[in-house]
Structure 1
Amino acid sequence: MSQPVRIVIVGGGIAGILLATRLGDQLGRSGRASVTLIDSSPTHIWKPMLHTIAAGTRDVQQQQVIYLAHARDHGFTYQPGAMHGLDRSRQLVQLDELRTPEGEVVLGPRTVGYDVLVLSLGSRANDFGVPGVKEHCHFIDSQKQAEAFNAALRARVFRSVAKDESLRVAIVGAGATGVELSAELSRLLDVASSYGDPTVRERLNLTLLESGPRVLAAFPPEISASSQSQLEHIGFRVLTSARVTAAEANGFRHGDGTLVEADLMVWAAGVKAPDFMNNLDGLETNRSNQIVVGASLQSSRDDHVFALGDCASLTLAGHERQLAPTAQVATQQAEHLARHLPGWLAGKPLADFSFRDFGSLVSLSDYNAFGTLGRFGLFRGGFIRGRFAQLSHAMLYRRHQQALHGFRKATLLWTAERINGLVQPKIRLT
């Protein structure tokens, strides 16, 4: 009796967990394939939500998906570990040793065999080699980093109140993460002002630095202008065309050497795949370490290695630029591969991926939201703002939950979140 095909998915982000869920349901339950998901974290968080976890305005315990439990419910297996290399000739994924948070080695370096490999390792901010960034800045690329920033933030807020001093925050990168984090920090302190010190919001001194000529460069100019105006209206300083040359212990140097002083520094600029992916065992990569793939989502040099989401570089026919690293792209690619991979395993050709642009949304917490509705769906090509845009933004996450859990469980999760919101503090206090 032949062994089931070994499908290994590395990275449990938006694309990875969705693909593992669908393939586990289709192939894993029936024994037609063994589906394995590998991730260094034990839990999944929807990445566009990380800025709320960092600010402490959303309960991480309610939002995370535990891989082990989710795997049991959907016919795949979960292995903890961080990939560091690949042996394509032997079809082996190489994993680092596994340690406890205290540093104790649980498992040594090991390998996992595959017949089909899907890389969905996501992306992280790119420091571009700027001196001092790694030493002095927080990053918001993972749940672990978001929670580390939140711990540092709460300590600084308490110090600010106790010592009657300002809280200086500087964020480099005015893409969606930087802009949304800025607004969420303001909301955090608005709510915190009712917990003892009504002046705590006034202590926030926040500067957002962007090397380009406008914030939210991936959005239409109208959204950039509206978002910057909103940020300035709530009291923030926005510096565009401000190229940061160094990060120091007490702030960022930019331009002619001017220092933007800060107690907390966040680097949210640039996008790149993990460093180990650069020319990964001969696979073609670009300068951002992304795997170059064709329209079938197969890597250009190995048909048994696929790449999805932020760690993949795909330029569609008739387009000059590669697809942007967005949740929308990652979701559609995972759905496409889940739909067509079973047929490919049975000998059918793989269909080409086509992207449907449903627009882009940015939420400035409770203050406002802006978006475009893309070339598909209702009100195509339109510009939205206010409550409708906020609702549309919130529905993106609800659709992700439904894709993972089904309508019934997703509805129960939403209901539980609403109930907990009535009885629990609106922000993280401990």
Structure 2
Amino acid sequence: MHRFIVVGGGAGGLELATRLGDRYAPHKNKGGVQAQVTLVDRNPTHIWKPLLHEVAAGSMDPFTQELEYAAQARWHGFEFQQGDLTGLDRANKRLTLGTVLDDDGAELLPARELEYDTLIIAIGSTTAFFGVKGASEFSLALDTVSQAERFRKRLIAACMRAEHQVHEPVESGPGTSPTSTEPRIQVAIVGGGATGVELSAELRNTAQVLSAYGLHKLDPRHDVGIVLIEAGPRILPALQERVSTATAELLTKLGVKLMIGETVAEVAPGMIRTASGKTVRADLTVWAAGIKAPAILSELDGLPVNRLGQLIVRRTLQTEVDDNIFALGDCAACPWPGNERNVPPRAQAAHQQASFLLKALAARLENKPLPEFTYRDFGSLVSLGHFSAVGNLMGGVIGGNMLIEGLFARFMYMSLYRLHIAALHGYARMVLDTFAHWLRRTTLPRVKLH
């Protein structure tokens, strides 16, 4: 049987492995074309990455949303192998997985080699610190559930400590009251993209809930400060200016301080220094200023990468030098005809590419010419937590371009995740999962408190 290996269980990789398993697994397709499908990921569970800012803010319990890869493999006819991609032998069509250790550092799984006929790489992206002094050491990224959980616990601890610290008034300046004080705790978020914007809004809600439940007696608006620092001329630079403007107005109403046009030059314990000479107090610093592809991609047996470390692919999503290797999602530099830039690193792009590859790989099995991928931008949505949402709908959704915000935008944003669940489990199970999630929320606080 033809051997498909999908490396990376993110939004695109897991959807593709699931649908390949449903179509080609021997016990599911006894009378048709059969194939062996294997999914590889370093972690044992999957969570939709756009939800990590909610995990960091405590508004989502990751353990109720995680999906076990082994269970998904059992249900949909593919095999799961845990481990990091550490090497590739293109001549022999073989990849190497690293050793997996348990929580105590003991070997759980040895290093292994897997053979493939078609390899699909979908290992996503990691945070790019751009060589800024102290950024990787003194700020937190939100690439994984463990990083998001670490930030959440540090936030709760900082609020509890700040309640009992003596806080002196600061000297008043022009336009300020003589009794004005700095926030007792201040969170600085570097990067005004979707992650930074969504996290800033979620944190405002978190501060209110923690106060309501008595974990601290700080004023959630004045004692818990949130600063969003963006190097560009506006937040959400990848979206249309009117979306950016509407979002900035909403964040300002929530008490989020925006520092626009400020490039971070150094991150130090308790502070951030900008290139313009400003010093920003930061009890907690989150770095959400950009992404890059994992470093391993530049070490894979001569596969070409761009300056961000992404695999350079053709419109068929095949790599430039090897027709047997495909790439999708954030780790792929895919041409976008009619645009100066490549297909953007968004969940909707990964979903579209997974759907495209299901058809393209079927053509490959039948020795037919492969089609070319065309990205369709359906717009962008940014969640501002329980307060609102904002975004724009484009193209096939409405036949034009329309700014949306408020309850309708919030509903559309929530539906994106539900569509991801439907792609993994089908619409019937998605509806049951949504109802079960709603029932759980009726007996739980809106924010995880421990």
* Band of TM-score, shorter chain: over 0.9
Residue 429 of structure 2 is aligned with which of 394, 409, 420? 409
Alignment partner of 1:195 is 2:213: yes
TM-score by length of 1: 0.96
Q: CA deviation at 1:201?
A: 1.1
Q: CA deviation at 1:224?
A: 0.8
Alignment partner of 1:324 is 2:347: no
Q: CA deviation at 1:232?
A: 1.6
**Secondary structure of 2:386's aligned partner:** coil
**Secondary structure of 2:237's aligned partner:** coil
CA distance in 1, matches of 2:10, 2:208: 31
Aligned Cα root-mean-square deviation (Å): 1.5
CA distance in 1, matches of 2:154, 2:98: 28
| AA of the residue aligned to 1:385 | E
| Residue 350 of structure 1: aligned partner | 370
CA distance in 1, matches of 2:166, 2:320: 58
| Range with greater deviation from structure 2 (283-292 or 189-198) | 189-198
Change (3 A) 1:39 1:164: farther
| Residue 81 of structure 1: aligned partner | 83
TM-score by length of 2: 0.92
Q: CA deviation at 1:200?
A: 4.5
| Residue 25 of structure 1: aligned partner | 22
1:9-48 maps to which residues of 2 (within 5 A)? 9-28=6-25, 29-30=28-29, 32-48=34-50
CA distance in 2, matches of 1:261, 1:80: 41
**Secondary structure of 1:23's aligned partner:** helix
CA distance in 2, matches of 1:21, 1:160: 47
1:298-317 maps to which residues of 2 (within 5 A)? 298-317=318-337
Change (3 A) 1:167 1:379: farther
Residue 175 of structure 1 is aligned with which of 179, 193, 209? 193
Residue 161 of structure 1 is aligned with which of 160, 163, 167? 163
**Any conservation in 1 of the 2:310–2:333 contact (CA below 8 Å)?**
yes
**Any conservation in 2 of the 1:161–1:200 contact (CA below 8 Å)?**
no
**Any conservation in 1 of the 2:5–2:38 contact (CA below 8 Å)?**
yes
**Secondary structure of 1:260's aligned partner:** strand
| AA of the residue aligned to 1:55 | A
| Residue 384 of structure 2: aligned partner | 364
Q: CA deviation at 1:30?
A: 3.0
| Residue 257 of structure 1: aligned partner | 277
CA distance in 1, matches of 2:51, 2:269: 28
Residue 116 of structure 2 is aligned with which of 114, 117, 125? 114
| AA of the residue aligned to 2:134 | G
Q: CA deviation at 1:380?
A: 2.8
CA distance in 2, matches of 1:371, 1:142: 25
Residue 420 of structure 1 is aligned with which of 405, 427, 440? 440
CA distance in 1, matches of 2:265, 2:390: 31
Q: CA deviation at 1:279?
A: 5.2
Structure 2: 5+ residue runs without aligned partners? 168-183
The sequence identity of aligned pairs, in percent, is: 41
Q: CA deviation at 1:101?
A: 2.1
| Range with greater deviation from structure 2 (284-293 or 197-206) | 197-206
| Residue 123 of structure 1: aligned partner | 125
Structure 1: 5+ residue runs without aligned partners? none
**Any conservation in 2 of the 1:6–1:116 contact (CA below 8 Å)?**
yes
Q: CA deviation at 1:283?
A: 0.8
